[in-house]
Amino acid sequence: MTDLLEEIARFCAHHDMSETRFGELVLNDKPFVSQLRAGRDIRSSTVEKIRAFIRDFEASEGAVPPTRASVSGRFPTGGRAFPHRDLISIGALQTHEILFLLEEAEQWVELNRQPSKHNDALAGLTIINAFFENSTRTLLSFEIAGKRLGADVVNMHAAQSSVKKGETLIDTTVTLNAMRADAIVIRHGSSGAVGLIADKVDCPVLNAGDGQHEHPTQALLDALALRHKLRERGEMSADGMFNGLAVTICGDILHSRVARSNILCLQALGATVRLCAPPALMPREVEAMGVDVFHRFDQALDGADVVMMLRLQNERMDGQFIPSPREYHHLYGLTQERLALASPEAIVMHPGPMNRGVEIDSDVAEMAERSIITSQVEMGVAIRMACLDVLTRKERKVSGWGEGEWV
C-alpha cells in the first residue's frame, strides 16, 4: 500500500491536485486518501481502478484537468465552463466551475457600484422565488438580482400558497412548472426537497437553502467577499485560489447548511477548514469531510486567517443543546480578546442574521479593517446575478451555450 500512496502523492504533486480532490475524482470519496494513510483496507480491484485512472489521466493529450484549469485561470469555452442546468449544491461542482461563477460575478459587482444598476440580460424572462421557509436577506437579494438583470420577478411565500391548504410539494411543483418560468429559486425546510423539485420542472433551479443540506449561493458569496478583502490587502493569489488559508468556522455546525456548503467551497479552493462547536452541536463523524474538529474555541482560533461565526439555529433545535445563551457566549462567543488569538489581521465573517452578544460581540462585528460582514451582503447580490445569468444562457441562446446536454 505504501507504493500506491507514493504514486498518488506524485500524481497530485505533478498535477497540482489536492488529495481530497483526487479521492473525489477517482472514487467519489473525498477522504479516501487520508483514510488510506490511516490504514484503511481496499480491494485489489480498487487499486487497479486508481492506477487505471492515473494512467488514463496522464495519457490524455490536450485535456485540462479541473484543478489545473483553475490554477492557470483558464476555463473551458461556452457552456462547458458550467455544464449544469441547476445549482443545487457546491458538492456537485468542480473547482474550475466555482472559480468560473466567482469570475462571472465580478462584472456585476462593478455594475452594482454604479449610479445606474440596470442591465437587460434577462429581459423578458420570468423568475419565481418560491420560499417555503421565512427569509429576509436571501429573498431580497435574489429579488434585487433578478430585477437588476431585467427579469420579471415573482415572489411566492409558503404562508400565502396552497401548501397551507394541504397541497403536496409535488403538486405545487407541477403548478409552478405549468407557469413556464425561466428559472425557479427555491428555499425549503427539508433536505433534498430542492433536488426533488429540480427533477420535476423544465427550467433551471437554484437552491436558496434546503434543510440542513446546502446553501450554495451563500458559500459562493462568502468566497467572493473573501477574495475582495484579500485582493484589497494585496494577498490574493493570481489563480483565485485560497491555498494555505486557515479558516475557522464556529457555531451551530450541526444544523447549518451554510457550514456544509462553505466547507465544500473553501476546500475546493485550497483552504484548510477548522470546525468548532460544543459537542452537542457538532455532527458525528464530520472529520470524514477532511476538516479539523475542535470543541475549545481558543484552540480553534490559534493562527486562523479567517474566523466565520454562525448563529444558533434555535428554530431547528429539538431540545436543549446549550445551557444558556450567556454560557454559550462565555465559551464560544467571538470577543476582541478571543480574536487576538487568531492571526494578527484575521478576517471576521458572519452569514447573518447575527445574534449580537451571543456568538459575536458588536465591537468585533463592526471592526472596519477586519470585519467583512456587510461586504458579504453586497457580494450576495452580485453572485446571485451571476448564477441567474449563467443558468439561463442556454434558454437565451447565448453563443456557445446551446450545445450538448446538461449534467
For the segment 137-180, what is each residue's pLDDT rounded down to a tens digit? 999 999 999 999 999 999 998 766 666 667 888 898 999 999 99
Distances (CA, A) of 266 to 24, 269, 321, 379: 15, 5, 27, 16
Q: Residue 323: is the preceding peptide bond cis (ω within 30°)?
A: no
Distances (CA, A) of 298 to 245, 246, 250, 281, 343: 18, 15, 11, 17, 12
Per-residue confidence band for 406, with pLDDT thresholds at 50, 70 and 90: low
Q: What single-letter amino acid sits at 63?
A: A
- Domain stop point among 34, 63, 92: 63
Q: Is residue 396 part of a domain?
A: no
Per-residue confidence band for 107, with pLDDT thresholds at 50, 70 and 90: very high
Considering only 45-49, 181-185, 250-254, which range has the smallest mean pLDDT?
Answer: 45-49
**pLDDT tens readout for residues 183-231:** 999 999 999 999 999 999 999 999 999 999 999 999 999 999 999 999 9
**Count of other CB atoms within 10 angstroms of residue 222:** 28
Quote the cell numbers at residue 306.
479567517
Quote the cell numbers at residue 337.
480578546
Q: Is residue 183 part of a domain?
A: yes
Whole-number percent of the chain with pLDDT over 70: 91
- Domain stop point among 12, 32, 63: 63
Per-residue confidence band for 46, with pLDDT thresholds at 50, 70 and 90: confident
Q: Does one domain contain both 49 and 170?
A: no
Q: Does one domain contain both 57 and 93?
A: no
CA 186 to chain centre: 16
CATH of the domain at 146: 3.40.50.1370
Q: What single-letter amino acid sits at 237?
A: S
Per-residue confidence band for 70, with pLDDT thresholds at 50, 70 and 90: very low
Q: Does one domain contain both 206 and 246?
A: no
Per-residue confidence band for 15, with pLDDT thresholds at 50, 70 and 90: confident
Considering only 51-65, 147-161, 252-266, 385-399, which range has the smallest mean pLDDT?
Answer: 51-65
- Domain stop point among 63, 98, 115: 63
Q: Does one domain contain both 37 and 140?
A: no
Q: Does one domain contain both 82 and 193?
A: yes
Q: Is residue 158 part of a domain?
A: yes
Q: Is residue 46 part of a domain?
A: yes
How confident is the model at residue 320, as a pLDDT?
62
Q: Is residue 312 part of a domain?
A: yes
Q: Is residue 204 part of a domain?
A: yes
Q: Does one domain contain both 89 and 211?
A: yes
Contacts of 316 (CB under 8 A, 6+ apart): 212, 255
Nearest to 278 by CA among 308, 336, 323, 213: 323
Quote the cell numbers at residue 137.
436577506
How confident is the model at residue 77, as a pLDDT?
84
Considering only 40-54, 101-115, 288-302, which range has the smallest mean pLDDT?
Answer: 40-54
Q: Does one domain contain both 354 and 303?
A: yes
Q: Does one domain contain both 260 and 360?
A: yes
Query: Number of structural domains, the chain?
Result: 3
3-state DSSP helix/strand/coil percent for the chain, to nearest 5? 45, 10, 40
Domain assignment of residue 24, given as a range: 2-63
- Residue 159, phi then psi, degrees to nearest 5: -65, -20
User: How does DSSP classify residue 359?
Assistant: T
Identify the burial level of 159 via C-beta atoms within 10 angstroms of its C-beta, where 0-12 means exposed, 13-18 middle and 19 or more buried.
Answer: exposed
Q: Does one domain contain both 276 and 208?
A: no
**pLDDT tens readout for residues 335-345:** 999 999 999 99
Q: If you average pLDDT over residues 235-249, what whole number do you get? A: 94
Q: Does one domain contain both 270 and 179?
A: no
Q: Does one domain contain both 15 and 93?
A: no
Q: Is residue 271 part of a domain?
A: yes
Both ends of the chain: CA-CA distance in Å?
A: 35
Q: Which helix (H) or strand (E) holds 205?
A: strand 205-210
Q: Is residue 227 part of a domain?
A: no
Do residues 229 and 375 lie in contact, with contact meaning Cβ atoms separated by under 8 Å? yes
Q: Does one domain contain both 269 and 324?
A: yes
Q: Is the pLDDT of residue 286 over 60?
A: yes
- Residue length, the chain? 407
Q: Is the pLDDT of residue 83 over 90?
A: yes
Long-range own/partner contacts, residues 41-50 (CB < 8 A, 24 or more apart): 42/1, 47/4, 50/4, 50/7, 50/8, 50/26
